Amino acid sequence: MDLGIKGRVALVTGGSRGLGRQAALSLAAEGVDVAVCGRSRETLDGAVGELRDLGVSAAGFVADIEADSDIEPLHSRAVEVLGPIDILVNNVGGSKAKADIDGTSVEHLRGTFDLNLFGGYQLMKLVIPHMREQRWGRIINIASIWGREHGGNIGYMSAKAALIGATKHAALSLAKDGVLVNSIAPGSIEHPGGSWERYRNENPPEVVGDFIEHNLPMGRFGWPEPVGDTVAFLASERASLITGACIVVDGGQSSSMI
């Protein structure tokens, strides 16, 4: 299937590993030129090499999405190297405290929102003018099933729920401008260096097996490729009637009916 996005330019945050790396690879496989950011030059160089091997232009930038001062320079450098951003994938996320309300300070809650919501929100504001001008744009925010229903810790759950809400509101505001805004809610996806790999390594096999048995209907953790390919589809011409949606990619893990 030709997704109709060859020659477009994408920016993927946290694109040097995990879901961000796979999103970048899935876009590059469709002929999209891709800029990625991350905290480690070594992993960025590896990801950029993989992207270029697919025959597209690619660039990697060291940036901290939590830091307000890094956001505008990241956008400016990506535009300078590859051109105006047609597709934005806000992938960076995580948690500053893995506790309930008693164990989570306001500072840690703010930090988790900075990581999951505010950095991506700033990038959305920066890319929208170009998208509006050309009357075409795609913004895809990587949320979580634990932003749609109970799960994880209070900071992560609250921040991902806010990201889904901001996605929906922005989508309705921009629909007439040809700018489509959607989110993806992955389930428990295992990848090298990720939290679920650490969970497997830090717990006895019977604990991991019990979690899988009671939470993962497919009998295994998820893997990155279906998430990356969903990103590519939502960025495509084939998804031209989809906006304001939150697409679940979780192997049946979540229990919500909406």
31 contacts 56 by C-beta, under 8 angstroms: yes
What DSSP assignment string belongs to 131-157? Answer: HHHHT-EEEEEE--GGGTSS-S-HHHH
Query: Looking at domain 9-187+222-249, what is its CATH homologous superfamily?
Result: NAD(P)-binding Rossmann-like Domain (3.40.50.720)
156 is catalytic: yes
Pinpoint the alpha helices (H) of the chain. 18-28, 41-53, 68-82, 106-113, 119-134, 154-174, 195-202, 205-215, 224-234
Helix (H) / strand (E) containing 248: strand 246-249
Q: How do the pLDDT tens digits run along the chain, 258 residues long?
A: 789 999 999 999 999 999 999 999 999 999 999 999 999 898 999 999 999 999 999 999 999 999 999 999 999 999 999 999 999 999 999 998 889 999 999 999 999 999 999 999 999 999 999 999 999 999 999 999 999 999 999 999 999 999 999 999 999 999 999 999 999 999 999 998 888 888 888 898 999 999 999 999 999 999 999 999 999 999 999 999 999 999 999 999 999 888
Give the active site residue among 61, 113, 121, 156: 156
* CB hemisphere CA count around 194 (13 angstroms): 21
Task: Please give the structure tokens belonging to residue 87.
Answer: 């597709």
Q: Do the beta carbons of residue 227 and residue 184 sit within 8 Å?
A: yes
Compute φ and ψ for 228, nearest 5 degrees: -60, -40
Measuring CA to CA, which residue among 11, 133, 147 is closest to residue 82?
A: 11
